[in-house]
């Protein structure tokens, strides 16, 4: 900064000298003009003074040469000033570059120190690698040959390096894609972990259920064996009961036992006889049962009556009549008689039922359900 101030002060003094020189040149013009004014009266007095045109020519020549000198001197001063300014600028720029170089030097010194430290670290690593050098000594000759070959391929490697730069960029792109795929795989992995945990929980639950089912299965096997034994016993009992019932006049069909009387009584007396036998008059509630009863080809009282409300037929268990097998034009309460009880009359027909007064004597059929 001191050198810069000295240069600026020198430039300022040079500019002052230029201004003072210019002023002196301007003052030098005035004496010639005064001299002309003084000589003119003297010329008039002496009569030997030159003519007016001569005086004007002489004064103009001297005046123009002085001005030219002043202009030249001014131009020289300006050029010197420009040169000095240029030198100052170059000097300042040189100082700036010097400072930058000094900074770079300092940075390089720091880098040198860091490199020295790294060198020391590498020296320690070299000592460690010295131990490995014994094992690598055999490979050194091969590597030396490869090194000589690779040295001749330096230019090719430079080209390959450029290709590798491009490949590196491509690999960077591929790496970025792999990062995205990794994130997706990580998300999928997390989902799979959750699914695995859920499946593991489900598996454990299934193991427990399997064990429970196995226990239940074994229990069911035991129960099945017991039920099979009980079933076999019940079958034997049923067969025994069927034989016993058949011996007592009962026949079995579709889950019920039927007793067909050989006597004839009124509808109510017939029902009381069924009660004494632990049964009731038969309820015919299916077509198959109707067909089975028709096979006996006899007139029977069975358990259907409208004695409660005329025209509303009900079974002996209180259920209303739904499906019926009345013969044509039946029930009709023939000639106004009270025909409130049902019998099988036209047993050769599918629809064989007939209404009849309840006091008349007929055979009857009792029904006892096996279950």
Q: What angle do CA 28, 33, 37 make, to 5 degrees?
A: 145
If we measure between CA atoms, which residue out of 291, 323, 287 comes closest to residue 304?
Answer: 323
Digit-coded pLDDT (tens) for 306-324: 999 999 999 999 999 999 9
H-run or E-run covering 239: helix 154-247
Digit-coded pLDDT (tens) for 48-94: 444 544 544 555 555 677 788 888 898 998 999 998 998 888 888 88
Q: Write down the residue that tokens 């030159």 correspond to.
A: 50
pLDDT the model gives residue 243: 75
pLDDT the model gives residue 305: 97
Separation in Å, CA 119 to CA 50, 107, 111, 112, 132? 98, 18, 12, 10, 19
pLDDT the model gives residue 370: 78
Q: Rounded to an integer, what distance in angstroms lies between the CA atom of residue 87 and that of residue 293? A: 145
pLDDT the model gives residue 146: 83
Q: What angle do CA 260, 264, 270 make, to 5 degrees?
A: 70
Q: Rounded to an integer, what distance in angstroms lies between the CA atom of residue 370 and that of residue 274? A: 15
> Which residues of the chain carry a pLDDT beneath 50?
25, 28-50, 52-53, 55-56
Please say whether the dihedral angle defined by the alpha carbons of residues 327, 329, 333 and 334, taken in this order, is positive or negative.
Answer: negative
pLDDT the model gives residue 236: 84
CATH of domain 239-369: 3.10.100.10
Residue 326 has what DSSP assignment?
A: B
Q: Is 130 exposed, middle or buried (0-12, 13-18, 19+ CB in 10 A)?
A: exposed
Please say whether the dihedral angle defined by the alpha carbons of residues 43, 49, 53 and 56, taken in this order, is positive or negative.
Answer: negative
Residues 6+ apart with CB under 8 A from 361: 264, 265, 266
pLDDT the model gives residue 335: 77
Q: What SS3 string covers 277-295? A: CCCEECCCCCHHHHHHHHC
Domain map of the chain by residue range?
2-98, 239-369
Phi, psi of 370 (to 5 degrees): -80, -20
pLDDT the model gives residue 91: 87
Cα(first)–Cα(last) distance of the chain, in Å? Answer: 128
Q: Rounded to an integer, what distance in angstroms lies between the CA atom of residue 224 and that of residue 140? A: 85
Q: Write down the residue that tokens 């002043």 correspond to.
A: 70
Q: Rounded to an integer, what distance in angstroms lies between the CA atom of residue 204 and that of residue 207? A: 5
H-run or E-run covering 350: none
Considering the entire predicted model, what is its pTM?
0.40
Q: Write down the residue that tokens 């002023």 correspond to.
A: 23
Tell me if 14 sits within 8 A of 81, measured CB to CB: yes
SS3 content of the chain, % helix, strand, coil (to 5): 70, 10, 20
pLDDT the model gives residue 215: 92
């Amino acid at each position: 900064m001191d050198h810069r101030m000295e240069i600026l002060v020198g430039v300022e003094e040079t500019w002052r000298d230029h201004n003072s020189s210019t002023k002196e040149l301007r003052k030098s013009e005035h004496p010639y003009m005064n001299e002309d004014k003084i000589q003119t009266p003297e010329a008039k007095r002496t009569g030997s003074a030159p003519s007016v045109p001569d005086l004007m020519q002489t004064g103009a020549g001297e005046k123009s040469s002085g001005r030219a000198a002043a202009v030249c001197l001014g131009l020289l001063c300006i050029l010197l000033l420009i040169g000095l300014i240029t030198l100052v600028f170059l000097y300042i720029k040189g100082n700036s570059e010097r400072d930058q170089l000094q900074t770079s030097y300092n940075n390089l010194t720091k880098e040198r120190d860091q490199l020295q430290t790294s060198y020391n670290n590498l020296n320690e690593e070299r000592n460690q690698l010295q131990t490995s050098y014994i094992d690598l000594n055999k490979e050194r000759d091969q590597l030396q040959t490869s090194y000589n070959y690779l040295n001749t391929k330096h230019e090719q490697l430079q080209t390959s390096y450029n290709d590798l730069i491009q490949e590196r960029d491509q690999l960077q792109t591929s790496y970025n894609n792999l990062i995205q795929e990794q994130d997706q795989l990580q998300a999928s992995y997390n989902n799979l972990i959750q699914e695995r945990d859920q499946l593991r929980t489900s598996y454990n639950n299934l193991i427990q259920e399997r064990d429970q089912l196995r226990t239940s299965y074994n229990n069911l096997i035991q129960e099945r064996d017991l039920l099979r034994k009980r079933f076999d016993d019940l079958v034997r009992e049923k067969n025994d009961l069927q034989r016993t019932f058949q011996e007592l006049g009962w026949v079995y069909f579709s889950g019920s036992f039927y007793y067909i009387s050989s006597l004839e009584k009124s509808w109510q007396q017939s029902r009381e006889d069924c009660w004494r036998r632990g049964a009731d008059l038969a309820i015919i509630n299916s077509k198959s049962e109707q067909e089975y009863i028709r096979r006996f080809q006899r007139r029977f009282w069975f358990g259907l009556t409208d004695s409660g409300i005329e025209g509303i037929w009900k079974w002996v268990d209180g259920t209303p009549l739904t499906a019926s097998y009345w013969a044509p034009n039946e029930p009709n309460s023939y000639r106004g008689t009270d025909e409130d009880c049902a019998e099988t009359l036209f047993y050769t027909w599918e629809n064989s039922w007939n209404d009849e007064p309840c006091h008349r004597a007929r055979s009857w059929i009792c029904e006892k359900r096996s279950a």
